[in-house]
A and B are shown apart, each in its own frame.
Chain A
Amino acid sequence: MSAPVTSPAGAPQDGSAPVPDAAPDEGDRSARVGPAVGRGRRRAARWLTVGLGVALAVLTVVSGMTGQVPVSPAEVLGSLAHHLGLDWGPMPSHPQGENALWVVRFPRVVLAIVVGAALACSGALMQGVFGNPLAEPGVIGVSSGAAVGACAVIVTAGALVPGTWVAAAAFLGGLVTTFVVYALARAGGRTEVVTLVLTGIAVNAFAGGMLAFFTFVADPAAREQIVFWQLGSLGGATWKSVSIVLPIAAVGVTGAMLVRRRMDLLALGERAAQHLGVDVERLRQLVIVLVALLVSAGVAFTGIIAFVGLVVPHLVRMVCGPSHRTLIPASVLGGAVVLLAADLLARNAVANVELPLGMITSLVGGPFFFYLLRRTRSRQGGWA
């Protein structure tokens, strides 16, 4: 009982790590009334990128230090340098230090970075293609859909099924769900908030039923894996899982970077975007595939980690405006920072107990979702 009580208090400090970085830029927003908004936003974007880069580096070192085997910051950097072929800095003094870093902690750090980046990027893409700021893989059920795909494979092929199969099944589940939600929730080129949220409820309910069914029929080993899936955790990180997730996420992020200029035009609505020369049909099919790729990368080995895709793009928009040219790359960085920070919290909030990561992101993200919902409702049509 005490564990869940302490974490929400601790969560805002660490779970929303980019906020302190964003704070200096908030000062720039006072200049927004002036004529230099465009320049101010660009400057904010640059500062945000630098801030997030620094935060990512610091969090990587801190994650390397933290755990049962003590490793000093200099030793973390030294070990990293040695593996890059540089004879620089001290190696870990603890006999298990090197192992702790390279077998346990670094795969986890890399997986956190990749998964966080993939989830935030998918959220930004989804909000753009739905024309709705509340779209998010967890909220509208795409994560659950991917989870159903993965669990179906785990149950039918047993708990020792190869990771690539799980990832492929998660991709298929995510793709089908994204298409279904897209087809159901849209009318006239955009998605009303109410329709989107209701569709999310329906999809999540159905996916929940499927997951319950799989939990019911599964043998104990598979059942354990399914439960772990629904909580969301980076505990199972290995270099093998990284090697499967990283290329998928890389393809997704690269695709997102290539289409990001045209995503801005979709904000005008489909007809207007088409009038400006965007092949809307083709673009949205491509984006849906990218979203499914990114979500499957985001859940295949870590389970459902909700709200990262919602919170991160919104914080980025608040700092440097809605243009996807900056939104996509900044969300990728921001997602990595947020998930790395959240995982650090999950590992250390309670001594000797690892909290589920998905629980932490939901405890922070849920209230944020409420806040956004209120804000969007109070200014109809004005998605700020």
Chain B
Amino acid sequence: MSDLRHEGSSFLGSLRAAVTGARRRSRLPGPSAPGEVVTAARGVSLTLGAAPILRDVSVDVRAGELRALLGPNGAGKSSLLAVLTGDLDAEAGDVVVDGRALGAWTPTELALRRSVMLQHVSLSFPFTAVDVVRMGRSPWRGTPFESEDDVAVAEAMAATDVEHLADRHFTSLSGGEKARVALARVLAQRTALLLLDEPTAALDLKHQELVLQLARAHAAAGGAVVVVVHDLSLAAAYADQATVLARGRVVADGAPRDVLTAELLTDVYDYPVEIVDHPGGGAPIVLPRR
């Protein structure tokens, strides 16, 4: 395994890697046992400019769980996600992916392990929706799993209900349609870990439910999902674990039923909140007091 990294250390090796896109053999991910830590942040702190964004944040994400990241605007949810993806470097603390430090993986190897849906989805050129979904397969190029490309793309588009948009230009789609195509791209990447930043923000009621059902099914199949959502009832209904962030700190972590209490949420959101039991016996419903 270590010899793979050596290849890139010589000048010629790095030149070749630059030209060919580091298409040397990547370490392929293996299956994770249920409950195994897939990715983790340990004691992470982050400051942007003068403002502290994250303070000593620790989160474990385990195989088989759907973890909701909750908290008010500016609490540090997206920043935590950016630290987990490696987009932002934490000043203190470590990020672990698949048993190794984040920096020990090449970008391609990371892309084989986790896929990311960002809050804002944009595209510079008018690719069709199916082209965009197919981009999700690019990390697998040159691996034995390349043969799954067509199936993965078709399944992802069926799952997110975007098959009828396949030949539309991505740039001509509505906000919700774009979000679903972006999610299809993420699913087509077929990684164990999904990091989703507000995937439901632009979606209608049906598709919100659909997306969280997908996330649920992904976790049930042995994957892991981290999802940022603002709809607390939605989180309560679907998440196994909830992490509540406020002012850059983790203020609660655990099963939604234990974490989502009226006192905590009232405090965190600085607005009176009440929890109502679902009349049909389902997950609790979180409502602002009106």
* Contact yes or no, A265 B135, CB < 8 A: yes
* Chain A stretch 256-296: residues in CB contact (< 8 A) with chain B: 258-259, 261-262, 264-269, 271-272, 274-280, 282-283, 285-286
- Cα distance A265–B130 when bound, in Å? 14
When A37-B167, A277-B139 are in contact, do A131 and B124 touch as well, CB less than 8 Å? yes
Q: Does A383 contact B (CB under 8 A)?
A: yes
> Which chain B residues border A92 with CB–CB below 8 Å?
none
* Contact yes or no, B125 A258, CB < 8 A: no
Query: Interface residues of B toward A: which range?
Result: 35 or more
Could you say which of B109-117, B200-208, B258-266 contacts chain A?
B109-117
Q: Does B122 contact A (CB under 8 A)?
A: yes
> Which chain B residues border A282 with CB–CB below 8 Å?
17-18
> Which chain A residues border B270 with CB–CB below 8 Å?
none
Q: Does A381 contact B (CB under 8 A)?
A: yes
Give the distance to chain B from A256, nearest Cβ to Cβ, in Å.
11
Query: Which residue of A has the minimal Cβ distance to B195?
Result: A275
Query: Interface residues of A toward B: which range?
Result: 35 or more
* Contact yes or no, A279 B172, CB < 8 A: no
Could you say which of B19-27, B31-39, B60-68, B213-221 contacts chain A?
B19-27
* Contact yes or no, B87 A271, CB < 8 A: yes
* B21, B128, B132: the one within 8 Å of A278 (CB): B21
* Contact yes or no, A322 B125, CB < 8 A: yes
* Contact yes or no, B131 A323, CB < 8 A: yes
* Contact yes or no, B130 A384, CB < 8 A: no
* Contact yes or no, A276 B111, CB < 8 A: yes
Give the distance to chain B from A264, nearest Cβ to Cβ, in Å.
7
* Contact yes or no, A271 B21, CB < 8 A: no
- Cα distance A317–B131 when bound, in Å? 14
When A35-B166, A382-B172 are in contact, do A275 and B126 touch as well, CB less than 8 Å? no
Query: Which residue of B has the minimal Cβ distance to A131?
Result: B124
- Cα distance A261–B138 when bound, in Å? 9
Q: Measuring CB to CB, which residues of chain B are less than 8 angstroms from any residue of chain A?
A: 17-22, 85-87, 106-112, 114-116, 118, 121-128, 130-132, 135-136, 138-139, 141, 166-167, 169, 171-172, 189
Q: 6 other contacts beyond A277-B138, A279-B21, A286-B18, with CB at 8 A cut-off?
A: A33-B167, A190-B124, A272-B118, A276-B135, A277-B110, A321-B131
